[in-house]
């Protein structure tokens, strides 16, 4: 018979929270595992009354929704946590943000209504990709060539070896802006498996138009959420905010100017 842990079962979760956080500046070099560890420690330092799983190795109840790749910044990452005492959303946001290293910043906290799923609302991402030393005149035709193609096959090294994937199919839109010194691409990509990431889009631009940036491009995820009818990326927390307004709960959002200064 399997052994059972002795002692009482852990307290039940009474509230589930959805957090939007940003990964900025130097902290873009963190991997998803780095962030997860930093989060667990910050939750302990901030003394958030986390709910734990039962068993011999209890783990705090944290569920991650996607994660920007190592080296890529993001303004729109999401995580859900469960707590065993009701918490004040703004106090939690501030305490956790202070406990995390500057550069991993908690942008917003909302309460998750029972029976709703955040992963189901995440359908696409909007990325910005800065291309220093690549002029708009060079970037624009490359973008046009990419969009004109039916498929753009690229290779990526994954855990199980080199894989080929179509970087074109999930790209809903891509425009270039900027000037002679630095072009910036704005790309909306549907979430597919395996995911098409900014790196794959850049590989695609290299393969269709020989676009090879002289210095590493800087990618940032600006939004992820549901795909609207217009092909825009919506706000995945909007339904929760609405539910809280109906119930008279104040949600917590960082002062946006302050957040921007952190970047």
Partner 1 sequence: MPVESLFPRLEPLLPTVSKPIQYVGGELNSQVKDWDTCDVRWALMYPDAYEVGLPNQGVMILYEVLNEQPHTLAERTYAVWPDLAAKMRAHGIPQFTVDGHRPVRAFDVLGISFSTELGYTNMLEALDLAGIPLHARDRDESHPLVVAGGHAAFNPEPIADFLDAAVLGDGEQAVLEMTAVIRQAKADGATREQTLLRLAQAGGVYVPHFYDVDYLPDGRIARVAPNRPGVPFRVHKRTVMNLDEWPYPKQPLVPLAETVHERMSVEIFRGCTRGCRFCQAGMITRPVRERSITGIGEMVETGLKASGYEEVGLLSLSSADHSEIGAIAKGLADRYEGTQTSLSLPSTRVDAFNIDLAQELQRNGRRSGLTFAPEGGSERLRKVINKMVSKDDLVKTVTTAYGAGWRQVKLYFMVGLPTETDEDVLEIAAMAGDVIRAGRQVTGTRDVRCTVSIGGFVPKAHTPFQWAGQLDAETTDRRLKLLRDAINADRSTAKAIGYRYHDGKPGIIEGLLSRGDRRVGRVLERVWREGGRFDGWSEHFSYDRWASAAAGELAAYGLDLAWFTTRERQETEVLPWDHLDSGLDKQWLWSDWQDALAEQDLDDCRWIPCFDCGVCPEMGTEIQIGPTGRTLLPLAVVSRPVSA
Q: For partner 1, which stretch binds (CB under 8 A), given 86-94, 121-129, 134-142, 169-177?
A: 86-94
Q: Is 44 in the site for partner 1 (CB under 8 A)?
A: yes
**Pairing mode, strands 161-166 and 62-65:** unpaired
User: Looking at 12, 56, 150, 247, which residue binds partner 1 (CB under 8 A)?
Assistant: 56
CB atoms within 10 A of CB 59: 11
Q: Is 95 in the site for partner 1 (CB under 8 A)?
A: yes
Q: Is 182 in the site for partner 1 (CB under 8 A)?
A: no
Evaluate the omega torsion of the peptide bond into residue 194 and state whether it is cis, within 30 degrees of 0.
yes
Q: Phi, psi (5° rounding) for residue 191?
A: -80, 120
* Rounded CA separation 86/112 (Å): 12
Q: Is 99 in the site for partner 1 (CB under 8 A)?
A: yes
* Rounded CA separation 106/252 (Å): 10
Identify any residues that bridge with 240 across adjacent strands, giving them in sequence order: none
Q: Is 41 in the site for partner 1 (CB under 8 A)?
A: yes
Per-residue contact flags (x/-) with partner 1 for residues 66 to 85, judged by CB under 8 A: ----xx-------------x
Q: Is 4 in the site for partner 1 (CB under 8 A)?
A: no
Q: Is 163 in the site for partner 1 (CB under 8 A)?
A: no
Nearer to partner 1, 15 or 207 (CB): 15
Contact criterion met (CB below 8 Å) for 169 and 39:
no
User: Looking at 13, 32, 46, 130, which residue binds partner 1 (CB under 8 A)?
Assistant: 46
Host H or E run for residue 34: helix 32-45
Nearer to partner 1, 144 or 249 (CB): 249
Residue 186 CB partners (closer than 8 Å, separation 6+):
126, 127, 128, 173, 174, 175, 176, 177
Q: Which residues would be at the binding site for partner 1 (CB under 8 A)? A: 3, 26-27, 29-31, 33-35, 37-38, 40-49, 52, 56-58, 60, 70-71, 85-88, 91-92, 95-96, 99, 101-103, 215-216
């Amino acid at each position: 018979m399997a052994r059972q842990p002795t002692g009482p079962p852990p307290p039940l979760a009474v509230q589930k929270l959805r957090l939007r956080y940003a990964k900025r500046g130097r902290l873009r070099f963190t991997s998803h595992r780095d962030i997860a560890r930093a989060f667990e420690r910050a939750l302990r330092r901030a003394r958030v009354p986390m709910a734990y799983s039962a068993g011999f190795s209890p783990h705090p109840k944290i569920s991650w929704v996607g994660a920007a790749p190592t080296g890529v910044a993001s303004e729109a990452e999401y995580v859900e946590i469960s707590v065993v005492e009701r918490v004040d959303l703004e106090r939690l946001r501030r305490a956790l943000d202070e406990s995390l290293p500057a550069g991993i910043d908690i942008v917003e906290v909302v309460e998750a209504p029972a029976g709703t799923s955040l992963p189901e609302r995440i359908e696409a991402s909007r990325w910005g990709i800065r291309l220093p030393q690549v002029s708009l005149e060079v970037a624009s035709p490359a973008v046009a060539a990419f969009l004109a193609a039916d498929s753009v096959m690229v290779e990526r090294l994954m855990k199980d070896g080199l894989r080929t994937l179509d970087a074109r199919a999930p790209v809903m839109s891509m425009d270039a802006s900027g000037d002679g010194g630095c072009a910036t691409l704005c790309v909306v990509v549907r979430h597919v498996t395996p995911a098409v990431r900014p790196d794959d889009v850049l590989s695609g631009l290299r393969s269709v138009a020989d676009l090879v940036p002289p210095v590493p491009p800087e990618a940032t995820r600006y939004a992820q959420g549901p795909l609207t009818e217009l092909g825009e990326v919506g706000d995945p927390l909007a339904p929760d905010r609405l539910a809280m307004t109906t119930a008279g709960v104040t949600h917590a959002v960082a002062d946006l100017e302050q957040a921007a200064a952190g970047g």
